Every structure is written in C-alpha cells, then in structure tokens.
Amino acid sequence: MDFLARIISIIDANLISCLIPMILTLMLIGFLFKDKFPTREALNLLRWIIISYAALVLLHLTIRALFNQFEFGTITIQAKAYSTTHWILMLASTIFPFTLLIKKLASKYAYLLLVAFSMKMGVFFEYFVIFTTSFHHDKMTENGIEITSAFWMLATSLLLQGFLLAILLSGIASIKVRPVYKNKSSIEK
C-alpha cells in the first residue's frame, strides 16, 4: 500500500505536475517545425501516460476505500461542508482523464490542456490561496521578495522540467516512429 502511494507521489512530482508545460512545449514544437518532429506521436504517448496514471490513482483509492474504511469515514465527517468540492476534484483528477480514450478528443492540444489542468486544479487553487493569504497575514518581507521569489522559483523549475520532459518525449516518439531497416538492399529501394 505504501509502495503504491510512493510510486504515485514520484510520478505526480516528476510528470503530472509538469503536464501543462509539456503540452505547451509540444504545441510550440508542432507549430514551429510542422512535420519535422513527431509531436502527434509524443502527444499520444503523453495521453497514455495520463491514462495510466489515472488508472493507478483510481486503483489506489479503491484499495484504500476497501481496506481502510475508518480513514474515509473520518475524512467525510471532517470535510462535510466541502464534500461537494472534494468530490468534484476527485472526479476531475481520476475519472476525467479516461475521456482521453476517445482518440478524437485526445488528438487536440486544447483538450489535453484541459485534462491536465483539471487533474491539478486543487493544487493550483491551493497555491493561489497560499499566495494570496500570505499578503493578508503579512508573512512577506517589506519588499515582497520572500514569497514571490519562492513562487517564481517553483514556476521556473516546473517550466524547465516540463520543457526538458517534452523534448525527451519527442525524442522517444521519433525513435518509435523511425523505420528500422533489416538490410542495405531495402535502404536502396
């Protein structure tokens, strides 16, 4: 159980948090270099990564609900006022990615961005709340460097990581797409 949670947290920190920069990078590469890079194949790989992650998270939640019912009962009691929001966030991050199984929807950059945003919507809202309440509670220094520098450092690292992962994914897709020749005579034809 802890092993599955650890795998999910590693995938979440390294891939899922960078989905939006990855998709934007693939979109930029696709628009700038039209047919030179296999961005559609990279987008397809990214689609299957998202679907696999959603299936893994759904499996983890199902196992936790079946074998640890006390934990889910106390969470429901504690978050009664926000239960609708919790359900929306849970469905958006676990069920909504399965709409990528529809190939027509999954081939569109905008739809993939929507799915990526919906998967991390709760995290983005949490960052927004932390950032805005830090202004209210005077947790910033006088010139505002403490919180804003941490925010920009996080945003820059996610953008850079997403950019590098998109380039890596595009490289993997180009290896997958490239034809393999068995002998020299097939190259000459």
27 in Cβ contact with 164 (< 8 Å): no
Assigned token pair, 92: 């958006």
Q: Helices 39-67 & 83-94, crossing angle to 10 degrees?
A: 130
Q: Which residue has the tokens 């978050």?
A: 79
**Residues 102-117: b if buried by 16+ CB within 10 A, e if exposed:** eeeebeeeebbeebbe
Amino acid symbol at 45: L
pLDDT at 136: 62
Q: In order along the chain (189 residues), what is the average pLDDT of each group of 10 residues?
A: 80 81 85 80 88 90 77 60 77 90 89 90 79 64 58 74 81 69 52
Q: Which residue has the tokens 């998967």?
A: 119
pLDDT at 115: 92
pLDDT at 5: 81
